[in-house]
Amino acid sequence: MAEPEFTFELRTCRWAERCWPPEGRERPVLVSRQLGTKRRRWDTVVVEVDADAFARRAQFGRKRLDGNLLHVVRNAPEVWEWYQDALPDPGYPWRYVRETIHEADDRRVLDVRKRGRKLEIRRRWEYPDWVRRIVAIENKPDLDASAARNLRPQIERDVALALADEVWVATRATGDRVEPALLESLPVEAGILTFSGDENDDYGGFDENQTNVAWFPRTLDVDAPGTRIVERPSGGKYDQSAATFEYVEPAKKRKKRLEIAERAYERGWRSYTRTMRPDCRYFELRHENEMLLPHCSAKSCSQTASKCSGRCSDFEPEPPTWRQKEWPIEGGPGKAIQRLLDSRRERFRPD
């Protein structure tokens, strides 16, 4: 049986962590999955980082800094100053900025003090410019001609908005020299990556030698205004309507990119147990060379994140005894699985 898209996605993440970029000089990267905007989630996100700046980012802790915290931390002055003098107008009421300042204080990423009735701030460290490029990869293991045609509008939207520096589609090779369905159906700006090995090969056929670039992507202009395609005509015989667009300012794109990178920093790609049920007695992690893949012993397959939920008819909580004897007091195998993946996430953070 063909493996689910979810497993393919995990393999792509693992491959990107080891082998990015597909050709050319190695670059330090941070890999995450299922990130993007409210309207669009990318399957795999590769954040190319500046190694030194990335190391300095660690001063701000493991948790992401959201848009509000970034606004405060990045604009905080070197010397004590009243926050309303120090920070640019946020575009929303100052009382929300005060809340963010208190949050930053609690997280120890900002110096805060009261002078009379005035709240003063001072930066603890300069927020480093750690993000070099952001690459979006759409995973489609079984991409036939009709699936490629269906995917086209989505990739066109990504290209028009140019929020990521590159957009790729990753698929399993069909055996043809080039994947004809892909080349014909996808926008030329998108790269096409094919994995040619067998699922039972090392890294599930995602070894460097089993990866082929069928088409290189065009670098998108992330500093130019982006175009969001709001509505497009169906193109049918009776549809004479025009597509509608809106422009997205470069500053807004820069902000969104950094927020995406911050989320990638917090989550990595091994955090999938948070949306699955590792506390189910049938949940296992199976070793595949250096990779751990979720496996359901009840269904004898690699389960998807959507199926592995409390709604699963086979779900059975791990027995309480698992939580008492050999397993650490604070949890059973489910917790141990989470800890194992968390420790791997740490190990694979770029130096």
Smaller CB distance to ligand SF4: residue 120 or 318? 318
For position 303 contacting ligand SF4 by CB under 6 A, the verdict is yes
- Report, in Å, the least distance between residue 307 CB and ligand SF4: 5
Query: Which member of 72, 296, 337, 341 binds ligand SF4 (CB under 6 A)?
Result: 296
Instruction: Report the nearest approach of ligand SF4 to the CB of residue 45 (Å).
Output: 25
Tell me, residue by residue from 249 to 278, as one string, x for binding to ligand SF4 by CB under 6 A and - for no binding.
Answer: ----------------------------x-
- Of 7 and 100, nearer to ligand SF4 (C-beta) is 7
Rounded-to-integer distance, Cα 140 and Cα 337, Å: 27
Residue 312 near ligand SF4 by CB under 6 A: yes
Bin 349: left if φ > 0, else alpha if -120 < ψ < 50, else beta.
Answer: beta
- Look at residues 175, 187, 242, 269 and name the one whose alpha carbon lies nearest to residue 220: 187
Query: Do 146 and 112 contact (CB within 8 A), yes or no?
Result: no
- Only one of the segments 99-107, 265-273, 312-320, 332-340 lies at the binding site for ligand SF4 (rule: CB under 6 A); that segment is 312-320
Beta bridge partners of 136: 45, 167
338 binds ligand SF4 (CB under 6 A): no
Query: Cβ of residue 343: shortest distance to ligand SF4, in angstroms?
Result: 21
**Among residues 54 and 282, whose Cβ is nearest to ligand SF4?**
282
Q: How far is the CB of 188 from ligand SF4 (least distance, A)?
A: 40
From candidates 76, 182, 186, 280, binder to ligand SF4 by CB under 6 A: 280
| Residue 314 binds ligand SF4, judged by CB under 6 A | yes
Per rule CB under 6 A, count of chain residues that contact ligand SF4: 13
Q: Which long-range contacts (CB under 8 A, 24 or more apart) does 22-30 make?
A: 22/193, 22/211, 22/213, 23/213, 27/132, 28/54, 28/350, 28/351, 29/350, 30/54, 30/261, 30/264, 30/265, 30/268, 30/349, 30/350
Site string for ligand SF4, 100-129 (x = CB under 6 A): ------------------------------
Segment lying near ligand SF4 (by CB under 6 A), choices 15-23, 36-44, 295-303, 335-343: 295-303
In degrees and rounded to multiples of 5, residue 303 shows phi and psi of -80, 155
- Contacting residue, 55, 298, 336, 340, with ligand SF4 by CB under 6 A: 298
Tell me which of 102, 149, 252, 299 binds ligand SF4, using CB under 6 A. 299
User: Which of 16, 230, 11 minimizes the C-alpha distance to 136?
Assistant: 16
CB of 282 to ligand SF4, least distance (A): 4
CB of 283 to ligand SF4, least distance (A): 4
Residue 305 lies near ligand SF4 (rule: CB under 6 A): no
Task: Work out whether 318 is an interface residue with ligand SF4 (CB under 6 A).
Answer: no
> Smallest distance from the beta carbon of 336 to ligand SF4, in angstroms?
15
- What's the token pair of residue 8? 């393919």
Position 283 contacts ligand SF4 (CB under 6 A): yes
282 part of the interface to ligand SF4, by CB under 6 A: yes
Minimum CB distance to ligand SF4 smaller for 100 or for 273 = 273
Binding site for ligand SF4 (CB under 6 A): 277, 280, 282-283, 296, 298-299, 303, 307-308, 312, 314-315
